[in-house]
Amino acid sequence: GFDRGGKEDMPTTCAELPRRSTREKRPPDRFQASIVCQVNIEPSNFNKIKLYPTKDQVAWQEAMNKELKLLKDLEVYEDVKLPPGERAIGCKWVYKIKTGVDGTVTHKARLVAQRFAQSDKNYDEVFALSLRANTLRAALVWAAKNKCKINLVDVETAYLHAPLQHTIYMKKPLGLWMEKLIIGN
């Protein structure tokens, strides 16, 4: 061996700890296609609801029933026979999924008239009044300047409260007379 000044030859190997990476471990990109997530997709029309799981079908039916109850309670429509010479416009359901701040999912259904089928001269005269953002800002500035108390009010289905100048005939929506939801093929 090698002489170290009279000391015995001792092995000089010491156990080194393996070097660990500080990078975050994540799966390779090739596994990204395997990630499953829940996506809430709204049906595009009434007939597509039967393609959804039973739980969603029931939720959509409840949302439509709630909308129809609001329309009935506010006396928005009355069931009449179409007079001769008049034309009824169509309608459709519009579906929306709302997610709350706490993560709760709410199904909303809204019945809308297809006004593009309205061919008479009063087509442009039928609209629901709504507040412009500039008008609201001006009112808030005036209220702040005059130290007025401001109350916020949300009127559910506000557009239903506006009276119409003309009678509009509309076809019955799909699902209006359904007593219970038919699930299956």
pLDDT of 31 over the 70 cut: no
Is 97 part of a structural domain of the chain? yes
Number of structural domains found in the chain: 1
Give the residue with greater pLDDT, 144 vs 155: 144
pTM, entire model: 0.57
Cα dihedral: 157, 54, 41, 43 (round 10): -60
72, containing H or E segment: helix 54-73
pLDDT of 63 over the 80 cut: yes
- List the domain range (segments joined by +) for residue 75: 37-146
Is 65 part of a structural domain of the chain? yes
Any residues with CB less than 8 A from the CB of 137 and at least 6 apart, and which? Answer: none
Is 29 part of a structural domain of the chain? no
pLDDT of 117 over the 60 cut: no
Is 53 part of a structural domain of the chain? yes
Is 46 part of a structural domain of the chain? yes
Average the pLDDT over 77-100 and give the result.
Answer: 88
Query: CA-to-CA distance for 116 and 93, rounded, in angstroms?
Result: 15
Is 94 part of a structural domain of the chain? yes
Is 116 part of a structural domain of the chain? yes
